[in-house]
Amino acid sequence: MFKPTNLLIIDDEPAIVKVFEKLAKDEGWTFASASSGTQAIDMLNKSAFEAAVVDIALPGFTGMQILEYVKQNQISTEMLIMTGVGSVETAVQAIKLGAYDYFTKPFDDINKISNAIAKAMERHRLLQKLKQMERMEGDSSSYEGIIGKSRKMQEVFELIESVAPTNSTVLVLGESGTGKELVAQALHKRSRRAGKPFIVINCAAVPETLLESELFGHRRGSFTGAIQDKKGLFEEADGGTIFMDEVGDIPPAIQVKLLRVLQEGEVRMIGDNSSKNVDVRIIAATNRDLTQLVGENKFREDLYYRLNVISITVPPLRERSDDIPLLTYYFLQKNAKKSGKEIATCSVDAITALQHYKWVGNVRELENVVERACVLVNGPVIQARDLPQRVLGESFYLTKEDGHSDFSKFSYHEAKEKAFMTFNRSYLSSLMRSSKGNISFAAAKAGMDRSNFKKILKKCSLNAEEFKKSK
Ligand X SMILES: Nc1ncnc2c1ncn2[C@@H]1O[C@H](COP(=O)(O)OP(=O)(O)OP(=O)(O)O)[C@@H](O)[C@H]1O
Which residues here bind ligand X, judged by CB under 6 A?
A: 146-148, 174, 176-182, 245, 287, 327, 363-364, 367
Name which of 214 and 371 has its Cβ closer to ligand X. 371
SS3 content of the chain, % helix, strand, coil (to 5): 50, 15, 35
With binding defined as CB under 5 A, does residue 287 bind Mg ion?
A: no
CA-CA distance, 207 to 200, in Å (whole number)? 16
d(CA 119, CA 17): 20
Residues in the chain, overall count:
471
204 binds Mg ion (CB under 5 A): no
Q: Which is nearer to ligand X, 146 or 344 (CB)?
A: 146
Binding at 122: pick from ligand X, Mg ion, none (beta carbon under 5-8 Å per type): none
**Contact, 12 vs 54, CB < 8 A?**
no
CB of 282 to ligand X, least distance (A): 16
Question: 359 and 365 in contact (C-beta within 8 Å)?
Answer: yes
| 147 binds, options Mg ion, ligand X, none, Cβ within 5 to 8 A by partner type | ligand X
- Least Å distance, CB 245 to Mg ion, is 5
Residue 187 binds which of Mg ion, ligand X, none (CB < 5-8 A, kind-dependent): none
Q: Which is nearer to ligand X, 123 or 364 (CB)?
A: 364
Q: Residue 367: name its binding partner from Mg ion, ligand X, none (Cβ under 5 to 8 Å by kind).
A: ligand X
Could you give the CA distance from residue 55 to residue 40 in angstroms, rounded to a whole number? Answer: 11
CB of 201 to ligand X, least distance (A): 12
DSSP character for 280? -
| Residues 6+ positions from 129 with CB-CB distance below 8 Å | 344, 345
Taking CB under 5 A as the binding criterion, the range among 12-20, 244-252, 366-374, 434-442 that sits at the site for Mg ion is 244-252
How many residues lie near Mg ion (CB under 5 A)?
2
Nearest to 80 by CA among 132, 25, 10: 10
Task: Confirm if 28 and 468 have CB atoms less than 8 A apart.
Answer: yes
Q: Hey, what amino acid is at 167?
A: N
| Binding site partner of 28, from ligand X, Mg ion, none, Cβ cut-off 5-8 A by kind | none
- Judged by beta carbon, residue 148 or residue 217, the one nearer ligand X is 148
Binding Mg ion by CB under 5 A: which of 137, 181, 229, 402?
181
| Other beta carbons within 10 Å of 3 | 9
Give the residue nearest to Mg ion (CB). Answer: 181
State the nearest-atom distance from the C-beta of 173 to Mg ion, in Å.
12
Q: Which is nearer to ligand X, 49 or 243 (CB)?
A: 243
| Alpha-carbon torsion angle 366, 370, 375, 377, nearest 10 | 140
Nearer to ligand X, 369 or 448 (CB): 369
Note whether 272 binds Mg ion by CB under 5 A. Answer: no
Q: Which residue is nearest to ligand X (CB)?
A: 179
Closest-CA residue to 228 (of 273, 268, 269): 269
Measured from the CB atom, the residue of 181 and 371 that comes closer to Mg ion is 181
Instruction: Please say which residue, 181 or 402, places its beta carbon nearer to Mg ion.
Output: 181
Residue 382 is inside which H or E element, if any? strand 381-382
Least distance from C-beta 313 to ligand X, angstroms? 11
> H/E/C letters for each residue in 42-60?
HHHHHCCEEEEEEECCCCC
Which among 32, 25, 28 is positioned nearest to 54, based on CA atoms? 32
Q: Which residues bind Mg ion (CB under 5 A)?
A: 181, 245
